[in-house]
Structure 1
């Protein structure tokens, strides 16, 4: 008798790492981190100067005071400019990811599914056509035997 041994923790960890989705996730995280740097540079280099044409170039400088005075560390400031900057970064990142990655992949997968469906439909038509052809051949052979114009061969096992 052979006993089946459970995999060791190290073997299980190795199997976990070698699954495709873990590797894909790791690649996505690395690319996402690099892409975040690009988006932040776009916000700081393009968006902030455009906003700076109206006011200040640093969105972090936009704030409101909840108390009567906000000088230095005194008072309660709401830093809505930094929230606006983070929101712009998120929207730009989401738009680029959607239009450059998600949308093209969705279209590609839809085309692949349509091709596969068309190929399956063609195969079904071929199978039906083959079945119809075999049915016609069978019917013709039965008709020939019934009329006695056959070649004199013995009847098929189902015809006895």
Structure 2
């Protein structure tokens, strides 16, 4: 008679999956990332685009090149083939700014913090090893002093 192992139910497996720390961390990261995107978009639209606008136009989406003419009109009534490199430039700027802010305000400080924590942990381990070695040496010295005080044993003359 063979006993079957009870398989975990799908619901139990799903619950275990949700309770993992990584899933919760990922969910928090997505929510924070969505909120952070609004901040970065505001910085790009409110600061970066006007600075670029001092040179050309405030809206980067207006920059384009015609690769098959004649390029006239806009939207559904446009003729020709346009390369909308201004919108690509705007999206690239947004990405670079987002990456820079995330790196300098989140990744770099966290890396420095983790490096300090690791250095403290290593220092504590080194101190522990020195203490353990010192205690062992002290115990050996105490043993040798007791043996010397007691004198040689009966069979050691």
TM-score by length of 1: 0.86
Partner residue in 2 for 1:125? 130
Partner residue in 2 for 1:151? none
Partner residue in 2 for 1:71? 72
Question: What CA distance in whole angstroms lies between the structure 1 residues aligned with 2:70 and 2:141?
Answer: 96
Residues 69 and 81, structure 2, Cα contact 8 Å, conserved in 1: no
The answer on 1:45 being equivalent to 2:46 is yes
Q: CA deviation at 1:81?
A: 0.5
Answer 1 or 2: higher relative contact order, Cα 8 Å, separation at least 6: 2
Give the alignment's Cα RMSD to 1 decimal. Answer: 2.1
> What secondary structure, in the 3-state scheme, does the structure 2 residue paired with 1:67 have?
strand
Runs (4+) of structure 1 exceeding 6 A deviation are none
Q: CA deviation at 1:140?
A: 2.1
Partner residue in 2 for 1:114? 119
User: Which region of structure 1 is more displaced relative to structure 2, 60-69 or 20-29?
Assistant: 60-69
Partner residue in 2 for 1:62? 63
Written as runs of structure 1 = structure 2, the 5 A alignment for 1:1-160 is 4-72=5-73, 73-147=78-152
Question: What CA distance in whole angstroms lies between the structure 1 residues aligned with 2:79 and 2:134?
Answer: 86
Whose strand proportion is higher, 1 or 2? Answer: 2
Residues 72 and 79, structure 2, Cα contact 8 Å, conserved in 1: yes
> What secondary structure, in the 3-state scheme, does the structure 1 residue paired with 2:79 have?
coil
Gaps of 5+ in 1: 149-153
Q: CA deviation at 1:5?
A: 2.0
> What secondary structure, in the 3-state scheme, does the structure 2 residue paired with 1:75 have?
strand
Question: What CA distance in whole angstroms lies between the structure 2 residues aligned with 1:3 and 1:68?
Answer: 73
TM-score by length of 2: 0.87
Q: CA deviation at 1:136?
A: 1.1
Q: How many residues align?
A: 150
